[in-house]
């Protein structure tokens, strides 16, 4: 499954719909996005400008895909494309939050599985 060049797939997909669905299928069938070359955000930025961006940046970041967020077109876009830049940065922020929440949940579960957590709920007071 990892013989697929995902970076090439993204660049060839360009303005076509369905990249998010294709990415989800790859993920479902075991494609390891952490082992893929870094993709520049400008590919998704152009997809957004062309109206074919489907939010795939969020998914890719949460699956471990490395995304470079530096490119002249992205760093200083014309006024009419600033909303597209905001969408990309918002998806990045939401993905980072999702990763932090998932990591915290995994740590909490690992501690509970190892019996290293305490039940800190207040105990009822005894009446005499």
Flag whether 28 is in a domain. Answer: yes
d(CA 48, CA 122): 51
Host domain of residue 71: 6-109
Q: What is the pLDDT of residues 69-105, one digit of tens each?
A: 999 999 999 999 999 999 999 999 999 999 999 999 9
Flag whether 56 is in a domain. Answer: yes
Query: 60: Cβ–Cβ under 8 A, 6 or more apart, which residues?
Result: 23, 33, 39, 67
The total number of structural domains that make up the chain: 1
Flag whether 117 is in a domain. Answer: no
- pLDDT tens track, the chain, 128 positions: 668 899 999 988 887 889 999 999 999 999 999 999 999 999 999 999 999 999 999 999 999 999 999 999 999 999 999 999 999 999 999 999 999 999 999 999 999 999 888 766 677 777 76
Flag whether 65 is in a domain. Answer: yes
Flag whether 69 is in a domain. Answer: yes
Flag whether 118 is in a domain. Answer: no
Flag whether 114 is in a domain. Answer: no
Flag whether 84 is in a domain. Answer: yes
């Amino acid at each position: 499954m990892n013989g697929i060049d995902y970076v090439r797939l993204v660049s060839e997909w360009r303005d076509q719909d369905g990249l998010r669905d294709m990415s989800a299928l790859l993920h479902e069938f075991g494609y390891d996005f952490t082992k893929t070359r870094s993709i520049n955000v400008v590919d998704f930025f152009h997809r957004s400008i062309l109206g074919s961006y489907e939010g795939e940046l969020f998914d890719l970041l949460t699956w471990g895909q490395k995304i470079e967020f530096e490119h002249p077109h992205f760093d200083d876009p014309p006024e009419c494309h600033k909303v597209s830049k905001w969408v990309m940065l918002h998806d990045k922020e939401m993905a980072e939050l999702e990763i932090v929440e998932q990591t915290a949940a995994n740590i909490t579960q690992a501690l509970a599985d190892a019996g290293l957590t305490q039940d800190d709920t207040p105990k009822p007071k005894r009446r005499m």
